[in-house]
Structure 1
Amino acid sequence: MKAMLYEAFGAAPKITTLPDPAPARGGVVLKVEATGLCRSDWHGWMGHDPDIELPHVPGHELAGTVAAVGDGVTRWSEGDRVTVPFICSCGSCPECHAGHQQVCDNQFQPGFTHWGSYAEYVALPQADLNLVGLPPDMGFDTAASLGCRFATSFRAVVDQGRVSGGEWVAVHGCGGVGLSAIMIARAMGARVLAVDIDADKLDMARSMGATAVVDARAGNVPEAVRDLTRGGAHLSIDALGHPETCANSILSLRKRGRHVQVGLLLGDQSRPPLPMDRVIGWELEILGSHGMQAHRYGAMLDMIASGALSPDQLVGDRISLEEAVPALMDMDSFQARGATVITRF
């Protein structure tokens, strides 16, 4: 199969030919039809993820068709159109039994713990538990954006953030995760304030339903958020993953507000200083959000089917696997609008 491979962290990946994968018992092999280019993949390429072993094929936001089925699979057949959460679960640990597959004790993460989807084919385990069927009218490029950015934002806003109609939600960072969070919060009846350093991204945030925007280059972000929301956000989300956006998100809250950390803080940024005096004095909540379980996709897909959510609007550039090499290496410049998706192999 054709695939992107890197043999050293931070070194330029190459496009090469690798052996086709075979399905394990209970698993499948997918023909990858589309796969998203995500900043998490950049973190992995930089060496910020301890689970990655070299050489490595990145890629974790994927959609495709079932190409081969392993023994024991009962729900899926060759040709089925599917996607998958970026965290595949084992189904047998205590967290899985409790329904919390997104924090499975024995999780399989394509593109991190195992080779991923920047390739023509990818092997996935425990297919009956982890795969999610796609609506027939959903494009693979849109579906690829669900597995990480959109699904992660859905859980962050709806499940972890417990958003309610009429609340103010501040979203720090208007990349793929942030724009998804804006659309979802707006669909849930919240008023959304978007924060970014890029005017084009703030314009896109408005088009996704943001009530107000803040240019983070213009001054004190928490003060601006508190002024615009008349006291602070009820829910604030760091959708970028940086010590500054994390602190700004917490300081943007009103009393008893909720901060959800979605953007990854890895490497030397993994343990940032936090305003714990404010957290204690104002009884703030700090919550993490890490993907979403396959069994929660139904609620999200129902909202998409109803027209309340339109993830297709978030798909930006569609590129080839070859074009993904420089695009991955340049991801820390934050230039892309929406979700960049590899659709040509």
Structure 2
Amino acid sequence: MKSCVITSPFIYEIREIPIPEPGDNEVLVQMKAAGVCGSDLHIYKGENPLSKYPLVPGHENAGIVARVGKNVTRVKEGDHVVVDLIITCGQCYQCTHGREEVCEKVLVRGSGTDGGWREYFTVPEDDVYEIDKSIPWKDAALIEPIAIGAHCTKRGRIQADDTVFILGTGTIGTIILQACKVIGAKVICCDVDDSSLERAKTFGADYVINSKTEDMIERISQITEGHGCTAAFDSACFPGSLALLLQPGIVCNAGRVIPMGFSNKPEPISQADINKRELDIIGSRMSAYQFQPVAKNMAEGKYRLEGLATTFVKFSEIQKVFENMENPDPAVKKTVILFD
């Protein structure tokens, strides 16, 4: 089998290695599709301090069960599955209280340990979820990022009567938009790029704001009749974006702000910014317990998937993925690797 390995920043190679055998409680997954995420770019560029080389990237993984260990009962050979990105201890406070995504010993496939940019790999039975065979592989790879949207909207307690503001309409912003629309909320999307905002309209945005050419707070006031939004997601995630969302006029009293990024730059935020309006600042990382409901929703056609992934690359031509990382094409919003 072939495996794509990043050996050091900006260096990768394709290795020929034996197909592994599953252990007693493991399944062997033959990969069919893998998404390319911004975190894969950071790993390739050497910007993830938690990643060590050599490393097989890829945490958005879908494939077929090729073999099962003798103790496996949940899935069988031939089943279509997606693979959870997190490996957890199952025993810490977080794991036993429904917060396994921040397990004390959490490992993430594709960054903390080897991921799915290889033709086969073994995973514990508990880390795979069967999906409907009607879901095309190019869409199955999107289940993990859509699960992030489902998780953060659950963390943000989004309800049908919410007016949600989303800063940034890239892949994650568009996915959060769809998760909010499935719930029934009204959504305002904001970006500095008109083409991204037009794309957001096709995915269900009720209103769009170009903050480069429009007064963002004034537009929000017009749309919400002066009340402000009940929740805001930061999917732009640049230094200063959290402080931006805490400005009066964006989120109403008792509103929620859900930052999605990992910027470690200090921002000018005061206790008064939060407590004068009794805001909730809610962290959200990855996803937990959302793969199965998202796969069910996808099989039932509840998401608009056409155009969510813009670029498809054969695994045999994976060099194109790295070429785009080094020379980004603005037209490439989301790439999915398809295995032969």
- What TM-score, normalized by structure 1, do the two folds share? 0.87
Corresponding position of 2:63: 64
Corresponding position: 1:275 with 2:275: no
Distance in 2 (alpha carbons) for counterparts of 1:240 and 1:140:
28
Partners of 2:56 and 2:181 lie apart in 1 by 36
Aligned residues of 2:59 and 2:109 also touching (Cα < 8 A):
yes
User: Could you tell which deviates more after superposition, 57-66 or 269-278?
Assistant: 269-278
Question: Any gaps of 5 or more consecutive residues in structure 1?
Answer: none
Decide which moves more: 191-200 or 300-309: 300-309
SS at match of 1:218: coil
Kindly state the Cα deviation for residue 288 of structure 1 after the two structures are TM-superposed. Answer: 1.2
Shift in Å at residue 261 of structure 1?
Answer: 1.7
1:167 lines up with 2:166 in the alignment? no
Distance 1:203 1:245 in 2: 22
Equivalent position to 2:302, from 299, 304, 308? 308
Q: Residues 2-151 of structure 1: matches in 2 within 5 Å?
A: 2-9=2-9, 11-124=10-123, 126-127=124-125, 129-147=126-144, 149-151=145-147
Alignment-mate amino acid for residue 208 of structure 1: F
Count of residue pairs brought into register by the alignment: 333
Residues 325-344 of structure 1 mapped to structure 2, 5 A cutoff: 325-330=322-327, 335-337=331-333, 339-344=334-339
SS of 1:166's equivalent in the other structure is coil
Q: Residues 195-344 of structure 1 correspond to what in structure 2 (within 5 A)?
A: 195-218=190-213, 220-229=215-224, 230-251=226-247, 252-262=250-260, 264-265=261-262, 269-276=263-270, 277-294=272-289, 296-320=290-314, 321-330=318-327, 335-337=331-333, 339-344=334-339
**Aligned residue type for 2:191:** D
CA distance in 2 between partners of 1:240 and 1:56 (Å): 27
Deviation at 1:233, TM superposition (A): 1.5
Which letter maps to 2:335?
T
Distance in 2, matches of 1:45 and 1:223, equals: 40
Q: By how many angstroms is 1:71 displaced?
A: 4.5
Residues in 1 aligned to 2:138 and 2:34: alpha-carbon distance in whole angstroms: 7
In terms of mean alpha carbon deviation, does 194-203 or 34-43 score higher? 194-203
CA contact (8 A) 2:146 2:294 kept: no
Q: Retained in 2: the 8 A contact 1:192–1:212?
A: yes
Structure 1 residues 72 and 241: CA distance shift in structure 2, 3 A: farther
d(CA) in 2 for partners of 1:12, 1:219: 42
Assess if the C-alpha contact under 8 Å between 1:89 and 1:130 holds in 2: no
Q: Secondary structure at the match of 1:150?
A: helix
Question: Any idea what SS the aligned residue of 1:217 has?
Answer: coil
- SS of 2:55's equivalent in the other structure is coil
Shift of residue 226, structure 1, vs aligned partner: 4.1
Residue 148 of structure 2: aligned partner: 152
Q: Which has the larger radius of gyration?
A: 2
Unaligned runs of 5+ in 2: none
Structure 2 vs 1, CA of residues 336 and 246 (structure 1 numbering), >3 Å: closer, same or farther?
A: farther
1:5, CA displacement in angstroms? 1.9
Whichever structure has more helix as a proportion of its residues is: 1
| Distance in 2 between residues matched to 1:76 and 1:247, nearest whole Å | 46
Distance verdict in 2 for CA 1:199–1:80, change over 3 Å: same
